């Protein structure tokens, strides 16, 4: 359990840095929620679909 806690801390720090670099709070929030182990697999999948949809919509414009 200690190694899991350490890995979680490192992953959280890494995602925080990546989130600042990308500047995408929503994606960072989904990643953080999935790290915490809450019911995010469905939410994360939905959000990813939404982002994909927005990307396609932007590309069409």
Q: What is the pLDDT of residue 49?
A: 47
Compute CA 2 distance to the chain's CA centroid, rounded to the nearest angstrom: 23
* Backbone dihedral angles phi then psi of residue 40, each to the nearest 5 degrees: -115, -10
* Distance in Å from the first CA to the final CA of the chain: 49
pTM (2 decimals)?
0.21
Angle at 60 between CA 56 and CA 61, to 5 degrees: 120
Which residues of the chain are modeled with pLDDT < 50?
Answer: 19, 39-45, 47-53, 55-61
CA pair distance 61, 2, nearest whole angstrom: 49
């Amino acid at each position: 359990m200690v190694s899991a806690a350490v890995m979680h801390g490192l992953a959280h720090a890494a995602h925080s840095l990546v989130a600042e670099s990308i500047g995408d709070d929503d994606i960072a929030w989904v990643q953080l929620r999935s790290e915490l182990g809450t019911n995010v697999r469905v939410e994360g999948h939905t959000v990813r679909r939404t982002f994909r949809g927005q990307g396609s919509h932007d590309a069409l414009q």
